Amino acid sequence: MMPLLANAPLAPTQRAIGAFVAGLPVLIADEENAGTLVLPVEGLTAERLAALAACGDAPIDLFVSGTRAAALGTDGIATGVVRLPPAIDCEEVVALASAADRDAAVAPGGRVAAAAIELAKLARLLPAALAIRGRVVARPAPADAVPHVTASEVLAFRAGLAGSLRRVSSARVPLADAGDSQFNVFRDALGQFWTAVVIGALDRSRPVPVRLHSACLTGDAFGSQRCDCGDQLRMAIAMIAACGGGVLLYLDQEGCGIGLANKMRAYALQDRGLDTIDANTVLGFDRDERRYDIAARMLRLLDIEDVALLTNNPTKMAGLREAGVSIAERIALVAPVNNSNRDYLRAKQQRAGHLIDSTGDEVSDA
Protein backbone atom coordinates (compact mmCIF):
# COMPACT_ATOMS: atom_id res chain seq x y z
CA MET A 1 0.00 0.00 0.00
CA MET A 2 1.36 3.42 -0.93
CA PRO A 3 2.44 5.57 2.07
CA LEU A 4 -0.29 8.13 1.40
CA LEU A 5 -2.90 5.45 2.14
CA ALA A 6 -1.07 3.68 4.97
CA ASN A 7 -3.93 4.19 7.45
CA ALA A 8 -6.74 3.72 4.90
CA PRO A 9 -8.05 0.49 6.54
CA LEU A 10 -8.73 2.50 9.70
CA ALA A 11 -10.63 5.31 7.95
CA PRO A 12 -14.18 3.83 7.92
CA THR A 13 -14.04 3.20 11.66
CA GLN A 14 -12.55 6.65 12.29
CA ARG A 15 -15.54 8.21 10.51
CA ALA A 16 -17.93 6.00 12.48
CA ILE A 17 -16.32 7.00 15.78
CA GLY A 18 -16.66 10.66 14.82
CA ALA A 19 -20.35 10.14 14.10
CA PHE A 20 -20.89 8.48 17.47
CA VAL A 21 -19.10 11.32 19.27
CA ALA A 22 -21.52 13.72 17.54
CA GLY A 23 -24.50 11.56 18.53
CA LEU A 24 -25.17 10.54 14.92
CA PRO A 25 -26.14 7.11 13.54
CA VAL A 26 -23.87 4.64 11.80
CA LEU A 27 -24.76 1.74 9.49
CA ILE A 28 -22.93 -1.47 10.45
CA ALA A 29 -22.92 -4.36 7.99
CA ASP A 30 -21.92 -7.97 8.57
CA GLU A 31 -22.40 -11.39 7.03
CA GLU A 32 -25.33 -11.96 9.41
CA ASN A 33 -27.30 -9.05 7.89
CA ALA A 34 -26.99 -6.42 5.19
CA GLY A 35 -27.06 -3.47 7.55
CA THR A 36 -28.07 -2.35 11.02
CA LEU A 37 -28.54 1.31 11.86
CA VAL A 38 -27.06 2.03 15.29
CA LEU A 39 -27.15 5.13 17.47
CA PRO A 40 -25.21 5.77 20.69
CA VAL A 41 -27.27 5.85 23.87
CA GLU A 42 -25.19 8.69 25.30
CA GLY A 43 -26.68 12.00 24.23
CA LEU A 44 -30.01 10.41 23.36
CA THR A 45 -32.97 12.79 23.08
CA ALA A 46 -36.67 12.16 22.55
CA GLU A 47 -36.34 13.59 19.04
CA ARG A 48 -33.48 11.26 18.11
CA LEU A 49 -35.30 8.26 19.56
CA ALA A 50 -38.41 9.06 17.51
CA ALA A 51 -36.33 9.63 14.37
CA LEU A 52 -34.61 6.27 14.80
CA ALA A 53 -37.95 4.50 15.26
CA ALA A 54 -39.13 6.00 11.97
CA CYS A 55 -36.16 4.54 10.09
CA GLY A 56 -37.30 0.92 10.18
CA ASP A 57 -40.27 -1.39 10.41
CA ALA A 58 -38.93 -3.43 13.33
CA PRO A 59 -38.74 -2.68 17.06
CA ILE A 60 -35.71 -0.87 18.43
CA ASP A 61 -33.11 -3.01 20.20
CA LEU A 62 -30.66 -1.95 22.88
CA PHE A 63 -27.18 -3.41 22.43
CA VAL A 64 -25.25 -3.86 25.68
CA SER A 65 -21.93 -5.41 26.66
CA GLY A 66 -21.57 -8.72 28.45
CA THR A 67 -20.82 -7.04 31.75
CA ARG A 68 -23.90 -4.83 31.43
CA ALA A 69 -25.98 -7.91 30.54
CA ALA A 70 -24.77 -9.48 33.78
CA ALA A 71 -25.79 -6.35 35.69
CA LEU A 72 -29.25 -6.67 34.11
CA GLY A 73 -29.47 -10.31 35.25
CA THR A 74 -28.07 -12.41 32.38
CA ASP A 75 -24.61 -13.93 32.82
CA GLY A 76 -22.34 -15.71 30.39
CA ILE A 77 -22.82 -13.77 27.15
CA ALA A 78 -20.29 -11.57 25.34
CA THR A 79 -22.82 -8.99 24.17
CA GLY A 80 -26.53 -8.64 24.71
CA VAL A 81 -29.71 -7.43 23.02
CA VAL A 82 -32.66 -5.96 24.92
CA ARG A 83 -35.89 -5.63 22.92
CA LEU A 84 -37.39 -2.26 23.85
CA PRO A 85 -41.13 -1.63 24.16
CA PRO A 86 -42.53 0.89 21.64
CA ALA A 87 -43.49 3.49 24.25
CA ILE A 88 -40.15 3.65 26.10
CA ASP A 89 -38.70 7.11 26.76
CA CYS A 90 -35.06 8.10 26.44
CA GLU A 91 -34.56 8.40 30.23
CA GLU A 92 -35.50 4.74 30.69
CA VAL A 93 -33.23 3.73 27.80
CA VAL A 94 -30.29 5.43 29.53
CA ALA A 95 -31.26 3.76 32.81
CA LEU A 96 -31.33 0.34 31.15
CA ALA A 97 -27.85 1.07 29.82
CA SER A 98 -26.26 2.37 33.01
CA ALA A 99 -28.33 2.33 36.21
CA ALA A 100 -27.48 -0.06 39.02
CA ASP A 101 -31.09 -0.95 39.84
CA ARG A 102 -32.47 -2.30 36.56
CA ASP A 103 -33.38 -5.82 35.40
CA ALA A 104 -34.24 -6.83 31.84
CA ALA A 105 -34.49 -9.85 29.59
CA VAL A 106 -31.27 -9.99 27.56
CA ALA A 107 -30.67 -12.21 24.53
CA PRO A 108 -27.17 -12.95 23.17
CA GLY A 109 -25.89 -10.42 20.66
CA GLY A 110 -23.79 -11.03 17.56
CA ARG A 111 -20.92 -9.32 15.78
CA VAL A 112 -22.90 -6.20 14.93
CA ALA A 113 -23.75 -5.73 18.60
CA ALA A 114 -20.09 -6.25 19.50
CA ALA A 115 -19.05 -3.67 16.89
CA ALA A 116 -21.58 -1.12 18.13
CA ILE A 117 -20.34 -1.52 21.72
CA GLU A 118 -16.75 -1.20 20.52
CA LEU A 119 -17.58 2.02 18.65
CA ALA A 120 -19.07 3.48 21.83
CA LYS A 121 -16.00 2.50 23.84
CA LEU A 122 -13.62 3.94 21.25
CA ALA A 123 -15.63 7.18 21.41
CA ARG A 124 -15.39 7.12 25.26
CA LEU A 125 -19.18 7.00 25.52
CA LEU A 126 -21.45 4.77 27.55
CA PRO A 127 -20.94 1.28 26.06
CA ALA A 128 -24.48 0.90 24.75
CA ALA A 129 -26.23 1.57 21.44
CA LEU A 130 -29.70 1.53 19.98
CA ALA A 131 -30.22 -0.53 16.84
CA ILE A 132 -32.91 -0.88 14.22
CA ARG A 133 -33.00 -3.31 11.34
CA GLY A 134 -36.21 -3.87 9.39
CA ARG A 135 -36.06 -2.12 6.05
CA VAL A 136 -32.76 -0.35 6.85
CA VAL A 137 -30.79 -2.97 4.97
CA ALA A 138 -28.78 -1.17 2.29
CA ARG A 139 -25.89 1.27 2.13
CA PRO A 140 -27.34 4.79 2.31
CA ALA A 141 -26.64 7.19 -0.53
CA PRO A 142 -23.72 9.57 0.11
CA ALA A 143 -26.19 12.42 0.51
CA ASP A 144 -27.60 10.71 3.58
CA ALA A 145 -24.29 11.36 5.37
CA VAL A 146 -24.57 8.15 7.40
CA PRO A 147 -21.15 6.50 7.77
CA HIS A 148 -21.02 2.87 6.68
CA VAL A 149 -18.66 0.39 8.27
CA THR A 150 -18.42 -3.37 8.62
CA ALA A 151 -18.33 -5.15 11.95
CA SER A 152 -14.98 -6.66 10.98
CA GLU A 153 -13.47 -3.20 10.38
CA VAL A 154 -14.60 -1.96 13.78
CA LEU A 155 -13.48 -5.05 15.68
CA ALA A 156 -10.02 -4.93 14.05
CA PHE A 157 -9.52 -1.19 14.59
CA ARG A 158 -7.89 -1.26 18.02
CA ALA A 159 -5.22 -3.70 16.88
CA GLY A 160 -4.14 -1.22 14.20
CA LEU A 161 -3.82 1.79 16.49
CA ALA A 162 -0.36 0.94 17.82
CA GLY A 163 1.02 0.71 14.29
CA SER A 164 -0.39 4.16 13.50
CA LEU A 165 1.54 5.80 16.35
CA ARG A 166 3.95 8.55 15.29
CA ARG A 167 6.18 10.89 17.27
CA VAL A 168 4.99 14.41 16.44
CA SER A 169 6.98 16.72 18.73
CA SER A 170 9.64 16.85 21.45
CA ALA A 171 10.96 19.50 23.83
CA ARG A 172 13.03 19.88 26.98
CA VAL A 173 10.90 20.40 30.11
CA PRO A 174 12.63 20.85 33.50
CA LEU A 175 10.69 19.11 36.29
CA ALA A 176 10.64 20.11 39.95
CA ASP A 177 11.36 16.57 41.15
CA ALA A 178 13.66 15.43 38.37
CA GLY A 179 15.56 18.30 36.80
CA ASP A 180 16.06 17.96 33.07
CA SER A 181 13.60 15.85 31.12
CA GLN A 182 12.37 15.61 27.56
CA PHE A 183 8.71 15.31 26.63
CA ASN A 184 8.10 13.24 23.50
CA VAL A 185 4.54 13.48 22.21
CA PHE A 186 3.05 10.73 20.05
CA ARG A 187 -0.27 10.73 18.19
CA ASP A 188 -2.29 7.77 16.94
CA ALA A 189 -4.81 7.50 14.10
CA LEU A 190 -7.64 8.31 16.50
CA GLY A 191 -6.02 11.64 17.33
CA GLN A 192 -5.15 10.66 20.90
CA PHE A 193 -1.90 11.94 22.40
CA TRP A 194 0.52 9.71 24.31
CA THR A 195 3.57 11.18 26.03
CA ALA A 196 6.95 9.66 26.85
CA VAL A 197 8.81 11.68 29.48
CA VAL A 198 12.51 10.84 29.31
CA ILE A 199 14.06 11.72 32.67
CA GLY A 200 17.82 12.14 32.95
CA ALA A 201 20.16 10.07 30.78
CA LEU A 202 19.06 6.65 29.53
CA ASP A 203 21.47 3.77 30.02
CA ARG A 204 20.25 1.09 27.62
CA SER A 205 23.02 -1.31 28.68
CA ARG A 206 20.87 -2.18 31.70
CA PRO A 207 17.11 -2.45 32.26
CA VAL A 208 15.68 1.06 31.91
CA PRO A 209 13.44 2.21 34.80
CA VAL A 210 9.99 2.70 33.28
CA ARG A 211 6.64 3.73 34.69
CA LEU A 212 3.39 3.34 32.73
CA HIS A 213 1.08 5.99 34.18
CA SER A 214 -2.54 6.18 33.05
CA ALA A 215 -3.74 9.77 32.86
CA CYS A 216 -5.83 10.82 35.86
CA LEU A 217 -7.01 14.42 35.66
CA THR A 218 -8.56 14.37 39.12
CA GLY A 219 -5.52 12.89 40.85
CA ASP A 220 -2.64 14.21 38.77
CA ALA A 221 -3.80 17.81 38.38
CA PHE A 222 -6.19 18.40 41.28
CA GLY A 223 -4.85 16.16 44.04
CA SER A 224 -7.96 13.97 44.36
CA GLN A 225 -8.00 11.88 47.51
CA ARG A 226 -10.19 9.18 45.91
CA CYS A 227 -7.19 7.48 44.30
CA ASP A 228 -3.42 7.24 44.64
CA CYS A 229 -2.65 8.34 41.07
CA GLY A 230 -1.21 11.78 41.78
CA ASP A 231 1.01 10.43 44.55
CA GLN A 232 2.19 7.60 42.30
CA LEU A 233 2.96 10.03 39.47
CA ARG A 234 5.16 12.24 41.62
CA MET A 235 6.78 9.27 43.37
CA ALA A 236 7.59 7.64 40.04
CA ILE A 237 9.24 10.80 38.68
CA ALA A 238 11.39 11.12 41.80
CA MET A 239 12.30 7.41 41.83
CA ILE A 240 13.29 7.42 38.16
CA ALA A 241 15.43 10.52 38.74
CA ALA A 242 17.08 8.84 41.74
CA CYS A 243 17.96 5.88 39.50
CA GLY A 244 19.87 8.24 37.21
CA GLY A 245 17.35 8.21 34.39
CA GLY A 246 14.42 6.42 32.85
CA VAL A 247 11.07 6.94 31.17
CA LEU A 248 7.56 7.74 32.35
CA LEU A 249 4.91 6.93 29.76
CA TYR A 250 1.88 9.15 30.31
CA LEU A 251 -0.94 7.20 28.69
CA ASP A 252 -4.34 8.45 27.52
CA GLN A 253 -6.21 5.86 29.59
CA GLU A 254 -8.27 7.90 32.05
CA GLY A 255 -10.23 5.73 34.46
CA CYS A 256 -8.54 2.47 33.41
CA GLY A 257 -9.45 3.28 29.81
CA ILE A 258 -13.11 4.31 30.17
CA GLY A 259 -12.57 8.07 29.84
CA LEU A 260 -13.20 11.00 32.16
CA ALA A 261 -16.99 11.24 31.78
CA ASN A 262 -17.47 7.55 32.46
CA LYS A 263 -15.07 7.75 35.41
CA MET A 264 -17.36 10.36 36.96
CA ARG A 265 -20.32 8.03 36.37
CA ALA A 266 -18.36 5.27 38.12
CA TYR A 267 -17.58 7.62 41.01
CA ALA A 268 -21.29 8.35 41.39
CA LEU A 269 -21.98 4.62 41.63
CA GLN A 270 -19.18 4.25 44.18
CA ASP A 271 -20.87 6.93 46.27
CA ARG A 272 -23.89 4.59 46.33
CA GLY A 273 -21.82 1.73 47.75
CA LEU A 274 -20.20 -0.04 44.79
CA ASP A 275 -16.46 -0.55 44.68
CA THR A 276 -14.29 0.62 41.79
CA ILE A 277 -14.53 -2.72 39.94
CA ASP A 278 -18.28 -3.23 40.27
CA ALA A 279 -18.93 0.38 39.29
CA ASN A 280 -17.11 -0.15 36.00
CA THR A 281 -18.89 -3.41 35.20
CA VAL A 282 -22.34 -2.05 36.07
CA LEU A 283 -21.72 0.65 33.47
CA GLY A 284 -20.90 -2.06 30.95
CA PHE A 285 -17.11 -1.92 30.95
CA ASP A 286 -14.61 -4.64 31.69
CA ARG A 287 -12.80 -4.45 35.01
CA ASP A 288 -9.90 -2.82 33.19
CA GLU A 289 -10.22 -1.56 29.61
CA ARG A 290 -6.54 -0.77 29.12
CA ARG A 291 -4.28 -2.28 26.47
CA TYR A 292 -0.52 -2.04 26.45
CA ASP A 293 0.43 -2.43 22.78
CA ILE A 294 0.70 1.36 22.37
CA ALA A 295 2.99 1.60 25.41
CA ALA A 296 5.14 -1.17 23.95
CA ARG A 297 5.26 0.66 20.61
CA MET A 298 6.39 3.86 22.37
CA LEU A 299 9.21 1.98 24.08
CA ARG A 300 10.32 0.48 20.77
CA LEU A 301 10.32 3.92 19.14
CA LEU A 302 12.59 5.03 22.00
CA ASP A 303 14.87 2.00 21.36
CA ILE A 304 14.10 0.52 24.78
CA GLU A 305 13.89 -3.26 24.91
CA ASP A 306 14.54 -4.22 28.54
CA VAL A 307 12.82 -2.45 31.44
CA ALA A 308 12.63 -2.31 35.21
CA LEU A 309 8.91 -1.62 35.63
CA LEU A 310 7.58 0.57 38.43
CA THR A 311 4.20 -1.01 39.17
CA ASN A 312 2.05 -2.91 41.63
CA ASN A 313 -0.21 -4.26 38.88
CA PRO A 314 0.47 -7.81 37.61
CA THR A 315 -2.01 -7.31 34.75
CA LYS A 316 0.07 -4.40 33.50
CA MET A 317 3.19 -6.57 33.60
CA ALA A 318 1.45 -9.38 31.71
CA GLY A 319 0.07 -6.98 29.09
CA LEU A 320 3.43 -5.38 28.46
CA ARG A 321 5.14 -8.75 28.18
CA GLU A 322 2.44 -9.96 25.79
CA ALA A 323 3.19 -6.89 23.67
CA GLY A 324 6.84 -7.96 23.42
CA VAL A 325 8.57 -5.96 26.17
CA SER A 326 11.13 -7.70 28.38
CA ILE A 327 10.61 -6.92 32.08
CA ALA A 328 13.77 -7.66 34.04
CA GLU A 329 12.36 -6.66 37.41
CA ARG A 330 9.43 -5.06 39.17
CA ILE A 331 9.87 -2.04 41.42
CA ALA A 332 7.06 -1.50 43.94
CA LEU A 333 5.34 1.88 44.00
CA VAL A 334 3.31 2.15 47.20
CA ALA A 335 1.56 5.47 47.76
CA PRO A 336 0.07 6.77 51.02
CA VAL A 337 -3.37 5.58 52.10
CA ASN A 338 -6.05 8.00 53.30
CA ASN A 339 -9.64 7.65 54.47
CA SER A 340 -10.97 8.55 51.01
CA ASN A 341 -8.93 6.05 48.98
CA ARG A 342 -8.79 3.16 51.46
CA ASP A 343 -11.70 1.23 49.89
CA TYR A 344 -10.35 1.89 46.39
CA LEU A 345 -6.94 0.48 47.30
CA ARG A 346 -8.49 -2.47 49.11
CA ALA A 347 -10.50 -3.35 45.99
CA LYS A 348 -7.37 -3.14 43.83
CA GLN A 349 -5.50 -5.34 46.28
CA GLN A 350 -8.16 -7.95 47.01
CA ARG A 351 -10.10 -8.10 43.73
CA ALA A 352 -7.62 -6.98 41.06
CA GLY A 353 -4.54 -8.67 42.51
CA HIS A 354 -2.43 -5.55 42.93
CA LEU A 355 0.79 -6.28 44.79
CA ILE A 356 0.44 -3.80 47.62
CA ASP A 357 0.80 -6.20 50.55
CA SER A 358 3.58 -4.01 51.90
CA THR A 359 0.94 -1.52 53.02
CA GLY A 360 -0.21 -4.15 55.49
CA ASP A 361 -2.87 -2.92 57.86
CA GLU A 362 -2.85 0.50 56.20
CA VAL A 363 -5.36 -0.88 53.68
CA SER A 364 -7.38 -2.65 56.36
CA ASP A 365 -10.29 -1.17 58.28
CA ALA A 366 -8.02 -0.40 61.23
- Phi, psi for 356 (deg, rounded to 5): -120, 35
CATH superfamily, region 165-253+290-363: GTP cyclohydrolase II (3.40.50.10990)
C-beta of residue 38 within 8 angstroms of C-beta of residue 17: no
Residues 6+ positions from 44 with CB-CB distance below 8 Å: 23, 90, 93, 94, 130
Cα(196)–Cα(160) distance, integer angstroms: 20
The residue from 68, 111, 265, 290 that is catalytic is: 290
Fold of 3-159: DHBP synthase (3.90.870)
Domain ranges of the chain: 3-159, 165-253+290-363
Neighbours of 300 (CB within 10 A): 15
288 is catalytic: yes
The residue from 228, 278, 288, 293 that is catalytic is: 288
The residues with which 193 forms a beta bridge, in sequence order, are: 187
CA angle 289, 29, 74 (to 5 degrees): 50
Q: What is the pLDDT along the chain (366 residues), one digit of tens a residue?
A: 445 455 688 999 999 999 999 999 999 998 767 789 999 999 999 999 999 998 888 889 999 999 999 999 999 999 999 999 988 999 999 999 999 999 999 999 999 999 999 999 999 999 999 999 755 544 444 546 799 999 999 999 999 999 999 999 999 999 998 988 999 999 999 999 999 999 999 999 999 999 999 999 999 999 999 998 999 999 999 999 999 999 999 999 999 999 999 999 999 999 999 999 999 999 999 999 999 999 999 999 999 999 999 999 999 999 999 999 999 999 999 878 888 778 777 867 777 667 776 444 444 332
286 is catalytic: no
C-beta of residue 232 within 8 angstroms of C-beta of residue 331: no
